[in-house]
């Protein structure tokens, strides 16, 4: 199997475009937004996101996979390369885990200036119950040689991005790939993985932004160098200047989101509600450390109040939080911010980079509380 592609870094790849100030969302961005939908925020009411409400991000096309012909190849710098079919993977030790996945580009469309790509607002997240088998035993069976350094995961989807023709590929360090929580999954919410989420098999690296969870997996290739594929070295790097080396995008920064209360206006989605006590709730997650504190503000972030956090959530499951707001007539801006046990806290100022990645700026929800 020819799996590890020509280094994208060796090709001449132009920087992604940044929109002019005031430039509207284009037809190209609208086309992406239609294919790759977000999770309606009210779906945070469900502990596990129903499959059709989970966000989607598909760089190219959903590949046409024949499950009877499909095989997973494990090879590269290993003593014992092997190939397995789906039925065999299903007989391997089985684990189910709730894992929150968020796209690294979540929040991009609100950045100023706006990086031109999939124009997410804040809905690029979902929390599913994934079932599969741990990756580590398969790696051990292949027996990486002493030269092994990284593991490349290849999907079967193919396309072109900024002039580079490619098959979707991402790598992990050998240590990260051996992690206890890393799974090869074939079920989502108790059903076979649906086509849009990676049928028949996807990689799950809990805690990491979406791009790491390679869908439509066909190849696991151990390599003796640092992987330089497009999705590793060109995309998913934090850069302000297009020519700087970049910092790789890895784990999810902490974020809390609020289920917008009341009822929305159809076009603007501005919110209205009646005065009185309102139970505000939502979810929060971080790929670095458990969530320790959720604070809510009803005055645009001037004053903050401690919310009650459900700290019993399993590690990679988003945690619920609630706070009762005494809503008085008038206009208000509701905000929520999360802090995790590593000390990371959501910023007020946007963390701007050219890709619009890892932007966990505090969510703002303007509401109008009506007169009695």
Ligand X SMILES: Nc1nc2c(c(=O)[nH]1)N[C@H]1C(S)=C(S)[C@@H](COP(=O)(O)O)O[C@H]1N2
Chain residues that interact with ligand X, rule: CB under 6 A = 54-59, 101, 103, 126, 155, 157, 168, 197, 210-211, 213-216
Q: Which residue's CB is nearer to ligand X, number 211 or number 338?
A: 211
φ/ψ of 6, rounded to 5, equals: -55, 140
Q: Distance of alpha carbon 258 from its chain centroid, rounded?
A: 18
CB of 62 to ligand X, least distance (A): 9
Structure tokens at 110: 């609100």
**Least distance in angstroms from the C-beta of 136 to ligand X:** 20
The residue whose Cβ lies closest to Mo ion is: 103
Contacting residues toward Mo ion, per CB under 5 A: 57, 103, 210-211
CA 109/CA 292 separation, integer angstroms: 28
The least distance separating ligand X from the CB of residue 189, rounded to whole angstroms, comes to 12
For residue 255, the partner it binds in Mo ion, ligand X, none, with Cβ less than 5 to 8 A by kind, is none
Asked if 48 and 98 count as a contact pair (C-beta separation under 8 A), the reply is yes
| Residue with the CB atom nearest ligand X in the bound state | 210
- Is 57 or 258 the residue whose CB approaches Mo ion more closely? 57
Q: Which does 354 bind (CB under 5 to 8 A by kind): ligand X, Mo ion, none?
A: none
Separation of alpha carbons 45 and 335, rounded Å = 18
Q: Which does 332 bind (CB under 5 to 8 A by kind): ligand X, Mo ion, none?
A: none
For residue 216, the partner it binds in ligand X, Mo ion, none, with Cβ less than 5 to 8 A by kind, is ligand X
Q: How far apart are CA 136 and CA 176, in angstroms?
A: 10
Distance in angstroms (rounded) separating the CA atoms of residues 253 and 287: 6
**Bridge-partner residues for 272, per DSSP?**
263, 368
Which partner, ligand X, Mo ion, none, binds residue 271 by CB below 5 to 8 Å per kind? none
Of 126 and 134, nearer to Mo ion (C-beta) is 126
Are the C-beta atoms of 168 and 154 separated by less than 8 Å?
Answer: yes
Half-sphere exposure of 368 (CA within 13 A, CB side): 10
CB of 145 to ligand X, least distance (A): 27
Q: Name which of 134 and 207 has its Cβ closer to Mo ion.
A: 207
Residue 219 interaction partner, one of ligand X, Mo ion, none, beta carbon < 5-8 Å per kind:
none
In the bound state with Mo ion, the residue whose beta carbon lies nearer, of 210 and 261, is: 210
CB atoms within 10 A of CB 323: 22
Judged by CB, which is closer to Mo ion: 103, or 185? Answer: 103
Burial of residue 321 (CB within 10 Å: 0-12, 13-18, 19+) is: buried
């Amino acid at each position: 199997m020819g799996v590890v592609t020509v280094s994208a870094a060796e090709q001449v790849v132009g920087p992604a475009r940044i929109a002019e100030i005031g430039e509207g969302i284009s037809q190209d961005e609208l086309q992406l937004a239609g294919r790759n939908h977000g999770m309606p925020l009210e779906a945070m009411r469900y502990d596990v996101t129903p499959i059709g409400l989970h966000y989607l991000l598909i760089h190219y096309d959903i590949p046409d996979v024949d499950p009877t012909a499909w095989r997973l190849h494990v090879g590269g710098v290993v003593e014992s390369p092997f190939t397995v079919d789906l039925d065999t993977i299903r007989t391997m030790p089985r684990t189910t885990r709730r894992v929150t996945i968020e796209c690294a580009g979540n929040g991009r469309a609100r950045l100023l200036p706006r990086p031109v790509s999939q124009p997410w607002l804040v809905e690029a997240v979902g929390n599913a119950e994934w079932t599969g088998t741990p990756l580590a035993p398969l790696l051990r069976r292949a027996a990486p040689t002493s030269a092994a350094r990284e593991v490349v995961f290849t999907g079967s989807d193919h396309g072109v991005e900024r002039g580079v023709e490619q098959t979707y590929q991402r790598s992990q360090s050998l240590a990260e790939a051996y992690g206890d929580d890393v799974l090869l999954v074939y079920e989502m919410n108790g059903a076979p993985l649906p086509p849009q989420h990676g049928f028949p098999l996807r990689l799950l690296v809990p805690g990491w932004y979406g791009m790491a969870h390679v869908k439509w997996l066909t190849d696991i290739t151990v390599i003796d160098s640092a992987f330089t594929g497009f999705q590793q070295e060109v995309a998913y790097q934090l850069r302000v200047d297009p020519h700087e080396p970049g910092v790789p995008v890895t784990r999810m920064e902490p974020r809390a989101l609020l289920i917008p209360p009341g009822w929305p206006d159809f076009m603007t989605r501005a919110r209205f509600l009646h005065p009185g006590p309102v139970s505000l709730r939502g979810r929060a997650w971080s790929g670095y450390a458990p969530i320790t504190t959720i604070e809510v503000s009803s005055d645009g972030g001037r004053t903050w109040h401690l919310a009650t956090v459900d700290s019993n959530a399993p590690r990679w499951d988003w945690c619920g939080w609630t706070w009762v707001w005494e809503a008085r007539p008038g206009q208000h801006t509701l905000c929520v911010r999360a802090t995790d046990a590593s000390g990371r806290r959501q910023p007020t100022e946007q963390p701007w980079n050219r890709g619009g990645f890892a932007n966990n700026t505090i969510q703002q929800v303007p509401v109008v509380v009506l007169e009695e």
